[in-house]
Structure 1
């Protein structure tokens, strides 16, 4: 049994978009302290847990949910992280608490117990998981679109460096991103940067932008060392009648599937995320069967980091976002279940990030194949890259 909880504090803080996110502090009776913050999505997927309607900045000590939580937790001990997280499960007494409050407290409790045990957060997470730890490769956002702005329908056009060391991956990411940034800026194409630090351009042509990335990789002599990835975010392209809007075209599921197959044939994709809405089950199954063994078809909105949604026949990889399910235990359950089914793991950021770098510790702890941080710009993204560099002291990247 762990030390009793002495106190909790939950507050509203700013996220990277100037919006509101939640942060929690938790202190054990022996003085061990932990904190956690929950990032937010621009538009959450429909299978995600609900979030709290964050109010004014600062302490939430007068909020009825927080008052009830504090009264319940003060002086109470738990046998494990799982027992603590069960408070926020479907059968728990605080199931109606938003996923962001649940996650902030889950992270804070985990960090406090890590400090009580003299462990790092990564090592504490390793102790909670049956998975082998290891360094992931970063997925680096180059161009953004969709709900993030710009004129392309796909949400992110990305690269994945596949070196043996995270340091080399990051150096290559900086090189490729910088070269493309210089190129498209010189052509007057850049209109700004998205929440995840991808460039927003004047182009509405997906192929033009994929070609820019592919040609830059080739010109830098990095073919085979850097691969292409994309996030379709198709749930946000749905029109409500089973069709999808891609650019100025309305496509049914079969037409969109043909569009995806052509892109897969023409480009050497390593990572292909959310090609269909989460209810378009047969389309998912067919595209996963069609894709080559080198292409990960990855479910984000499809699985929503929930073990109950995982079906290895629908995708070959899963995106893990802690605030979709709301607790560390729920996230680890999804990771373990997916890995047992032979699926690839990718830990992911959210659009509205905080300074919390726990996602990097999680990715290393579960031995994720990939980690999706965003483009190498802005402090909220750079903090995660820097944490990976720190964590790399003693861990090597898995083979591609």
Structure 2
């Protein structure tokens, strides 16, 4: 997708280790699947070069092939897709939205309407253990967001990033229109810690999830790891287990869990409607 020079349209394919009881175990599982995926890619003669956020970025035949490879990697690592490890997507649909249509210009050149995109995701959810989709539609396609939440929101987590931009005014509109059930939180996007905490609180009060996130261009600062624990978000998105600016956050979470000891609470993934 937008974070790599390849022929896959959807920006990010992520895993969420749902079978772990501690963050330490969660990170180990993620690392094992990452290295398993490297092995799977090499066996197929595919590139193991990484993109901006540390994820592999090979040229593939289709977006679905990326999911097939991840499922194969999970199984090769000795885990069960759908129970031990689940999948999250960030299509970043605004990046391939052109004049009222979603254009898969990196892969097959096909054009899809908003309804067809929702049907596309519904098909993926039925075939793969996907529990979360972020930015599945364009940031200004509000009516389609409402429809997607209505049709898929009881099955998966629907996360708004570009549509909300950590802005309480846009989140408030999303709450009113029932556009999603989760919001991505980027501290340096809204600019102040106060506004960031306000956005998290607004989401939590409405029963929405909040996911703390890094940026595609990152430093080794680890504050967002502390923020995710302090705000009780339960989810953090901070890249692959590759590249030091990504791993720095995971290492900080390990330190926090170790320091908290028996007081540390790690919430397992509980897919909606599954």
Please give the TM-score of this superposition, normalised by the length of structure 2: 0.89
Answer yes or no: is 1:221 the counterpart of 2:79.
yes
Comparing 266-275 and 212-221, the one that deviates more? 212-221
Aligned position for 1:4: none
Are 1:334 and 2:199 matched, yes or no? Answer: yes
User: Is 2:50 the partner of 1:193?
Assistant: yes
Q: Name the CA distance, whole Å, in 2 between partners of 1:182 and 1:399.
A: 27
Secondary structure of the corresponding residue to residue 57 of structure 2: strand
The one-character-per-residue Cα deviations of 1:278-336 (angstroms, maximum 9, x if unpaired) are 11111111111212534101000011001111123111111000111011111101000
In 1, the alpha carbon distance for the partners of 2:2 and 2:103 equals: 11
- Summarize the alignment of residues 143-222 of structure 1 with structure 2, pairs less than 5 Å apart: 145-162=1-18, 163-190=20-47, 192-219=49-76, 220-222=78-80
Distance 1:324 1:148 in 2: 22
Deviation at 1:188, TM superposition (A): 1.7
Q: Match for residue 60 of structure 1?
A: none
Q: Rate the CA distance shift 1:399–1:191 in 2: closer, same or farther, 3 A.
A: closer
Equivalent of 2:96, from 230, 237, 241? 237
Q: Is there any run of 5+ residues in structure 2 with no aligned partner, and where?
A: 270-274
Match of residue 252, structure 1, among 113, 129, 144: 113
For 1:15-38, what per-residue CA distance to the aligned partner results, in whole angstroms no more than 9, with x for missing partners? xxxxxxxxxxxxxxxxxxxxxxxx
**Structure 1 residue ranges without an equivalent (≥5):** 1-144
Instruction: Provide the residue aligned with 1:396 in structure 2.
Output: 265
Match of 1:365 among 208, 220, 230: 230
Q: Give me the whole-angstrom Cα distance separating, in 1, the residues matched to 2:255 and 2:231.
A: 17
User: Aligned to 2:41, what secondary structure does the other structure show?
Assistant: helix
Q: Does the CA-based 8 Å contact 1:264-1:291 persist in structure 2?
A: no
Higher relative strand content: 1
Report the Cα distance in structure 1 between the residues aligned to 2:221 and 2:29, rounded to whole angstroms.
24
Q: CA RMSD in A?
A: 1.4
CA shift for structure 1 position 265: 2.0
Question: How do 1:214-363 residues align onto structure 2 when only pairs under 5 Å count?
Answer: 214-219=71-76, 220-223=78-81, 224-239=83-98, 241-246=99-104, 247=107, 248-291=109-152, 293-310=154-171, 311-312=174-175, 313-363=178-228
Alpha-carbon distance between aligned partners in 1 of 2:192 and 2:153, rounded to the nearest angstrom? 34
Q: Which has the higher helix share?
A: 2
Partner of residue 272, structure 2 = none
Give the equivalent residue in structure 2 for 1:124. none
Whether the 8 Å CA contact 2:153–2:181 is kept in 1: the answer is no
Q: 1:191, 1:222 → 2: CA distance?
A: 23
Deviation of 1:182 (Å) = 1.1
TM-score computed with the length of structure 1 as normaliser: 0.62
Distance of 1:252 and 1:294 partners within structure 2: 22
Cα distance in 1 for residues equivalent to 2:155 and 2:30: 21
